[in-house]
Amino acid sequence: MIKELHRSLMENFEQLVSWRRYLHRHPELSFQEENTPKFIAEKLSSFGIEVKTGIGGNGVVGMIKGGKEGRTIAFRADFDALPIHEENDSPYRSSVKGVMHACGHDGHTAALLGVAKVLSEIDRSRLKGNIVFIFQHAEEKPPGGAKFMIEDGCLDDVDLVFGAHVSTDIPYGKIGLREGPVMAAVDAFTIQIKGKGGHGARPHETVDALVIGSQIVNYLQQIVSRRVNPIDSAVVTVGVFQAGTAFNVIAENARIEGTVRTFNPNVRKQIEEEIRAIVQGLCQASHASYEIDYLNGYPPVINPRNETEQLRAIISETYASDCFYNYQPSMGAEDFAYYLKHKPGVYFHVGARGDDPKTHYPHHHPRFDFDERALLVSGKIFLSIVNHYLLQ
């Protein structure tokens, strides 16, 4: 049966590429997706699959009900794009100025649509359970779409959930799979400093927000190096520092924005406390006021051991043992973490860096692209999961 499923997917490869390129030409930003969910729902309906729209906002869920009792397996693909102006000159480049699929979500969606099409054609009386297709909006922008879709019931009665991400960090043909920590928790902070502006020649009459902000930035860099146990991984990055309006004017206001990445929940809490203490102490010592907006974003993606080992065995039935890439935990973040907090499952990466140099750019780069053969690898693994749990 699995060979038939894989053969059917391969026969639909040109269709998968067509869908992916259509989505690439028509990207939509997080929480602003309108046409993409319509496109997905129309395709699923055309396959004869039960469809629900507006799940948790802009999410779409499809379901195939089997003819026999068994488990319910869910697969998730995200479909939002990024606020990046594409610099590629391919015929399928983005048609929307300043918006681009620069993380492969167009591929995730096309691959899962292909899987749905193949599975819609099998004899459902042979299916020992149900299959749920979760097409998720707003992965790129916290608080993310996963949380809202789960609250709206997309995981109700689901036993296992799986997700895949194409990766240009990994060569085509290789699969990144590991148990335990896979991707980090992500938090964001904004610090507003209120001082007292004045003439650059009379600093003694002012409270210089720019100088206070500079001190805060310097102290923030010491949190990981001097406060966090070196055994634990953590990142504190300041990405925005805005202050001042003229060369001879002392700044009254300063704005600092940054991100925190961690795996250990205790370290996550510790860093937030350290940031708040640093800002409070320096501002009080400098006679300035402040505000902190601290957003706890996605939790870390943690793959459970049993399901990960089982997936490794399933993949090994289709691909050689050397297909597994030595994938290391990433400080990047993914709201697939919410699914794994509610249900057992696995999140894995599929190699998408081919021989063509255009597939060598990193994710979130204006020239990002990937080897479209990775669509088949993702799809085959999903189909192999269905075969193992629901068809054997």
251: three-class secondary structure by DSSP: coil
Q: Say if residue 321 is exposed, middle or buried (CB neighbours under 10 Å; 0-12, 13-18, 19+).
A: exposed
Strands 289-296 and 185-194: antiparallel
Which residue among the candidates 106, 139, 187, 334 is catalytic per the annotation? 139
Among residues 33, 78, 80, 334, the one annotated as catalytic is 80
CA distance linking residue 177 with residue 150, whole number of Å? 24
The whole-angstrom separation of Cα 190 and Cα 212 is 15
Residue 205 contacts by C-beta under 8 Å, 6 or more apart in sequence? 196, 198, 199
The residues near 242 (Cβ < 8 Å, ≥ 6 apart) are 254, 255
Dihedral (CA of 196, 200, 203, 209) sign:
positive
Token pair of 275, please? Answer: 């940031």
Residue given tokens 């999140």 in the structure block? 347
User: Residue 198 forms beta bridges with which residues?
Assistant: 250
Active site residue 355: no
Determine whether 139 is an active site residue.
yes
Cα–Cα distance list, 288 to 192, 212, 217 (Å): 10, 8, 16
Q: Which of 384, 378, 369 is nearest to 92 (CA)?
A: 369
Per 3-state DSSP, what percentage of the chain is helix, strand, and coil (rounded to 5)? 35, 30, 35
d(C-alpha 180, C-alpha 281), whole Å: 37
Q: How far is CA 243 from CA 4, 134, 282, in A?
A: 62, 43, 17
Cα–Cα distance, 373 to 253 (Å, whole number): 51
* Residues assigned a catalytic role: 80, 139
